[in-house]
Chain A
Amino acid sequence: MLPQTADYMRLLPEIVLTVFGMIVMVMDAAAEGRGEGRSRGRSIGRIKDRRIEKILGAVALVGSLAAITATFVQAQYPGFAFWNMVQVDSFSVFFHFLVAAVTAVVILTSFEYMEVQQIRAGEYYALILFGAAGMSLMSSAVELVLVFIALEISSISTYVLAGFRRRAAISSESSVKYFLLGSFATAFFLYGVALMFGATGSTNIATIGDVLRSGQIPLLAYAGVALMFVGLGFKVAAAPFHIWTPDVYEGAPSPVVGFMSTAPKAAVFAVLLRIMFEAHAPGRIGLIWVVAALSMTIGNLGALVQDNIKRLLAYSSIAHAGYLLVAYAALPDNGIPAAMFYTASYAAMNVGAFAVVSHFGSAGERYVTLGDYSGLGRRSPLLAATLTIFLLSLIGIPITGGFFAKFYVFSAALQANLVGLVIVGVLNSAVGAYYYLRIIVVMYMREPQQEVPVARIPVGLGFALAISLVTTIYLGVLPGRVLEYASRTATAWMR
């Protein structure tokens, strides 16, 4: 049986992303082959014609925009594709859109960053697109084999991206750490899948759910779920699998951090939703309870003592993974929409915050400590105001997306009678407010300690910031449409 046209339509965003990624790679190689590039390429300090890189970036941007368009085409063909391995429903369309949008914003941020850091950028854009293809595939995969392959596509791309400032020892070190711990975690995930296969005789998530719902749950299934959760928990940086996060986020290039703290996380959270709710994972609530409480506490306490802003945001992302996981302990009909809403608003505010960090870091990412941000409010009011809004959203102040995200998650947890977990969460939010506000205080109320230059905001970055800002505020003022979409998805899914 050959695949039908509809099958390809259901995979259209992934196909578009891969094709554009290949175009970028081939163009890069072709440009390299001609002229001065032949001297075994990329040697240190070579002044390169930056025009070709601008073109490659533009092609990648077109690719991500085409993927957004392809998402709408894909949405016209709901159903299964490729022998029940891929399922297109409004749930997967939501995450496809999210991943493609984050990719576009990150590429916009990268234009300036690549130029300032003097990095040869050809394969950088290709890797981002390939990674995005893997993440999109993850959100529509309903077969654990495919989940694993998609997870690896996205992980391997991000391992390489983390080490992209090749000349900086700190960057390649973060890449080594990310790679070692990442593949360790993937191995755990795989072992869990193997045990799950042994326990239920299937790797299809829906079939596993049917088997587990009917009658005795084998002991192997518990072990399988626990091991799979270790692997996926690592990818979303949930405690106690979070050790890599601060190190990797500190060393990796800032736009890449913005990318890998949002898009792959959203995709893995989508997979987790499917495994937890559709596969009817046994022992769900106890497992999630512990991990969510630990993540929130460790993340927020760790962030209190940080001086490097990238490390601080890394701990904050651990904490946010904790808040998000609270929704997984709730009942499916309001836990799923709450989790979906949270990933969307977290993606908007975090990508924006890292865009500001990457612009402000300037050459060699020199200005990343809290002290460097002092007096930013006076030197660059626009940048400071933008960052302030993202930080307020991360705290969860009303009229920003972060407020409703937390509100829905906690109210979903309350409806499932998880009072203890909600109390832990709310206390943690209060702790979190301290370190976010500290950045704002430093920006507006401290005199600058030294002369830190602030470059003008280029067009690409301006667009990136505007998009994340508008999304953050839109989700905070008019959350209704997104939430309604998410609830409809959950109802359709649970039926």
Chain B
Amino acid sequence: MAPITTLHYLVVAAALFILGVIGVLTRRNVVIILMSIELILNAVNLNLVAFSRMWGLHGQVFAIFVITDAAAEAAVGLGILIAFFRNKETVNMDEVDLLKW
């Protein structure tokens, strides 16, 4: 069996990234869109950690920052979503229609 190289990790990360992008573009539920964005961020983390095999610890430290930021972003995002839900009683993107999308 061939050994697992950095390239393998990169391919997985790219697949995750594409899945995330497709999710953001096609899903209508805001919460699922948020989850898709998290998927992209995790693809980034995978990339960073994989590149750390080549270039040293920098990438892993960066990944920790990304994880922290993802948490902060999710907290603010859900807060914004609650404020929105109070006004419109929906989390469906198709009903976000007061402003031309």
Contacts and interface: CB of A to CB of B under 8 A. Distances in A.
A186 B66 CA distance: 11
Given A163-B80, A179-B76, A180-B30, A191 B99 contact: no
A259 interface: no
* Range for the number of chain B residues in contact with chain A: 35 or more
A194 B44 contact: yes
B51 A198 contact: yes
A152 B80 contact: no
A156 interface: yes
Nearest to B97: A173
Contacts of A148: 65-66, 69
Contacts of B41: 187, 190
Interface of B is mostly: helix
B88 to A, nearest CB: 6
B44 A175 contact: no
Contacts of A183: 37, 73, 77
Majority DSSP secondary structure for residues of A touching B: helix
A167 B65 CA distance: 34
A149 B65 contact: yes
A176 B84 contact: yes
Interface in A219-259: 243, 246-247, 250-251
A177 interface: yes
Given A170-B98, A197-B51, A191 B69 contact: no
Interface size class of A (residues with CB under 8 A): 35 or more
Contacts of B10: 198
Contacts of B72: 152, 156
Nearest to B59: A197
Nearest to B33: A180
Contacts of B40: 184, 187-188, 190-191
A193 B69 CA distance: 15
A160 interface: yes
B8 interface: no
Interface in B68-100: 69, 72-73, 76-77, 79-81, 83-84, 86-88, 96, 98-100
B96 A173 contact: yes
B86 to A, nearest CB: 8
Interface in A102-159: 145, 148-149, 152, 156, 159
B62 A145 contact: yes
A272 interface: no
Contact of A156 (B17, B76, B100, B101): B76
A125 to B, nearest CB: 18
Interface of A: 145, 148-149, 152, 156, 159-160, 163, 166-170, 172-177, 179-180, 183-184, 186-188, 190-191, 193-195, 197-198, 201-203, 243, 246-247, 250-251
9 contacts: A148-B69, A149-B69, A179-B76, A180-B30, A191-B44, A191-B47, A193-B44, A194-B62, A201-B55
7 tightest CB-CB pairs across the interface, nearest first?
A187-B40, A169-B87, A194-B47, A247-B99, A201-B55, A198-B51, A172-B84
